[in-house]
Amino acid sequence: MASRKSGKAGAGKQPSKAWAGRFREPTDRLVEAFSRSIAVDKRLYPQDIRGSIAHCQTLAKAGVLSRRDQAAIVRGLQLVQHELERERFKFLPEDEDIHMAIERRLTELIGPLGGKLHTGRSRNDQVALDVRLYVREQLTVLIERLTEFQRVLVAQATKHLDVPMPGYTHLQRAQPVLLAHHLLAYVEMFLRDQARLADARTRVNVMPLGSGALAGSNYPVDRLYTATLLDFPAVTQNSLDAVSDRDFMIEVAAALAVIMMHLSRMSEELILWATQEFHFVDLPDGFCTGSSMMPQKKNPDVPELVRGKTGRVYGHLIGLMTTLKALPLSYNRDLQEDKPALFDALDTTQDCVEVMTELMRRLKVDRAALTRALTGGGMLATELADYLVTRGVPFREAHAITGKIVRWALDAGRELSDLTVKELGVFSPRFEKSVLQRLTVQGAIDRKSQIGGTARAQVVRRLKELTKLLA
């Protein structure tokens, strides 16, 4: 009896939730706080309003809404957007997410007509649309930022075109290369990163709206028309998949993880190069901090933070995959956890690209330190071995002979470039005066003249190609 009285008392009242009609009691306050996502998804308001306007136009085209109703709803949505853009929108405790907050405010502005907007639509396909719209925009921004980063690296490479340095394997001095060649290695990495982002964007760029909660819509909505309004080249082909698919998020997160890995590798090199032991570069003061105790310190905080944040982005990728690994079709509330991971991964990566771009723009190179680092350690040993090969000595034999020369030079405290033909002749009669032309840093660099080599001509060729590509 009490239950029936409670039902009558509630009759005619606007429920606090859009779905509250089926329930006998309101949502527990603890659950309200636990399940709210608006702090995370409120950034989606431009996409939500754009998608809602397109949905409204599609409903009008289908005859579900009158043209007059369409115009009123669109004007109302534009007013809501105006409030959000100027931070005049008042969020209420019952606003679960940005989608319901916008619908609630729309209804306050235009009355019960606002309740017609959600016809033929579920939050499941609504949020899928909003996230795709948002990610599509963010990928475009990130690709542009990577392009600017590459331009800075190309500018630094051009500026230091004739600066040789040690190339390393196993963090041991190996062979001379041009600093420009080293810098352009990162440009190549970021080109691949951009290609991955562009490729991922093709799978982001598929329109899910019209899939309903899971089975499609009971209304004759023209999904291709909606896709045209929202600049989508394709629509999803399975409603169950459309509302539960987060593959595109994982793909983007994976691409972001690779970008961060590349940034972390660069950061590690900058940290090493800025030490007094290397002193190859001087990081700009504005991108470093000091010590609260040791007055002499200049700490490479920016590259250290980038290196540290890389693990954070890796974690978001693993978190997304773990969230999805056991979800049955179609939508499950677990998917609310997809946005914090993806949004933070996007924010972190964009911030890291931006700060590293400015750091590299102001980076100073110590040419003298790089030149000093080219001495010692027998960096021209491969040139000796290859010389013997040109004189008819099998490479393995030439390798062994050169190894003995290196050992002797190290013990004697001599540089390979200082050895005479007579001294080299002790190890092999194949050495002639022409070998001395091999024992120079510049000669070693210039002989690597095949495509992709460190020879100046090849580096200049690639610089021209990249300058044109990044223009």
pLDDT for the residue numbered 193? 98
Catalytic residue among 170, 239, 264, 434: 170
Residue 133, Cβ density class (10 Å: 0-12 exposed, 13-18 middle, ≥19 buried): buried
In a domain, 306, yes or no: yes
Give the whole-angstrom CA distance, residue 366 versus residue 63. 71
Please check whether residues 308 and 455 belong to one and the same domain: no
Quickly state the pLDDT bin for 329 (edges 50, 70, 90).
very high
Residue 155, in any domain of the structure: yes
Q: How far apart are CA 39 and CA 319, in angstroms?
A: 19
Same domain, yes or no: 207 and 138: yes
- Please state, in angstroms and rounded to a whole number, the distance separating the CA atoms of residues 348 and 344: 6
Instruction: State the CATH number of the domain containing residue 399.
Output: 1.10.40.30
Contacts of 103 (CB under 8 A, 6+ apart): 18, 114, 115, 117, 118
Full residue range of the structural domain in which residue 246 is found? 129-219+228-370
Verify that 323 and 451 share a domain, yes or no.
no
Last residue of a domain, one of 59, 88, 116: 116
- State whether the Cα torsion 80-86-87-88 is positive or negative: negative
What is the structure's pLDDT at 5? Answer: 40
Question: Looking at the domain assignment, is residue 178 inside a domain?
Answer: yes
Q: What is the pLDDT of residue 124?
A: 97
193 and 307 together in one domain: yes
Does residue 211 carry a catalytic annotation?
no
pLDDT in tens, 122-144: 999 999 999 999 999 999 999 99
Task: Let me know if residue 449 belongs to a domain.
Answer: yes
Task: Give the model's pLDDT for residue 28.
Answer: 83
46-55 average pLDDT score: 98
Same domain, 242 and 298: yes
What percentage of the chain carries pLDDT values higher than 70? 96
pLDDT for res 16: 63
Identify each DSSP E strand in 164-209 by its residue range.
164-169, 172-178, 206-207
Mean pLDDT of 143-161: 98
Instruction: Kindly state whether residues 274 and 417 are assigned to the same domain.
Output: no
Instruction: State pLDDT tens for residues 65-75.
Output: 999 999 999 99
Tell me which of 6, 35, 291, 449 is the catalytic residue. 291
**Residue 118 vs residues 115, 276, 331: alpha-carbon distances, Å:** 6, 64, 18
Residue 399 annotated among the catalytic residues of the structure: no
- Give residue 94's pLDDT: 86
Which helix (H) or strand (E) segment holds residue 365: the answer is strand 364-365
Mean pLDDT score, 401-430: 93
Question: Which CATH number goes with the domain that contains 322?
Answer: 1.20.200.10
Is 313 found in the same domain as 196? yes
Predicted confidence (pLDDT) per residue in 1-25, tens digit: 444 443 443 444 444 677 777 888 8
pLDDT digits (tens, 9 = 90+) for 204-225: 999 999 999 999 999 999 999 9
Q: Give me the chain's average pLDDT, please.
A: 94
Instruction: Report pTM.
Output: 0.92
Confirm whether 18 is domain-assigned. no
In a domain, 389, yes or no: yes
Q: ∠433-437-441 over CA atoms, to 5°?
A: 145
SS (H, E, C) the chain: CHHHHHHHHHCCCCCCCCCHHHCCCCCCHHHHHHHCCHHHHHHHHHHHHHHHHHHHHHHHHCCCCCHHHHHHHHHHHHHHHHHHHCCCCCCCCCCCCHHHHHHHHHHHHHHHHHHHCCCCCCHHHHHHHHHHHHHHHHHHHHHHHHHHHHHHHHHHHHHCCCCEEEEEECCEEEEEEEHHHHHHHHHHHHHHHHHHHHHHHHHHCEECCCCCCCCCCCCCCCHHHHHHHCCCCEECCCHHHHHHCCHHHHHHHHHHHHHHHHHHHHHHHHHHHCCCCCCCEECCHHHCECCCCCCCCCECHHHHHHHHHHHHHHHHHHHHHHHHCCCCCCCCHHHHHHHHHHHHHHHHHHHHHHHHHHHHHCCEECHHHHHHHCCCCCCCHHHHHHHHHHCCCCHHHHHHHHHHHHHHHHHHCCCHHHCCHHHHHCCCCCCCHHHHHCCCHHHHHHCCCCCCCCCHHHHHHHHHHHHHHHC
Domain final residue, candidates 370, 402, 422: 370
Whether 30 has a pLDDT exceeding 90, the answer reads no
**pLDDT tier at 345, thresholds 50, 70, 90:** very high
Q: Which two tokens stand for residue 210?
A: 């019209």
Asked if omega into 428 is within 30° of 0 (cis), the reply is no
Q: Give me the number of domains the chain comprises.
A: 3
pLDDT of residue 32: 81
Among 370, 393, 413, identify where a domain stops. 370
| Same domain? 327 vs 364 | yes
Residue with tokens 């009759």: 11
Distance (Å, whole) CA 109 – CA 8: 28
What's the pLDDT band for 438 if we cut at 50, 70, 90? confident
Here the CATH number for the domain that contains residue 62 is 1.10.275.10
Q: Which residue has the tokens 């003061």?
A: 285
Residues 266 and 345 in one domain: yes
327 with 207, same domain? yes
Q: From CA 177, how far away is CA 179, in angstroms rounded?
A: 6
Predicted local distance difference test score (pLDDT) of residue 2: 42
What pLDDT was estimated at residue 64?
97
Q: Which tokens in the block code for residue 179?
A: 């600093």
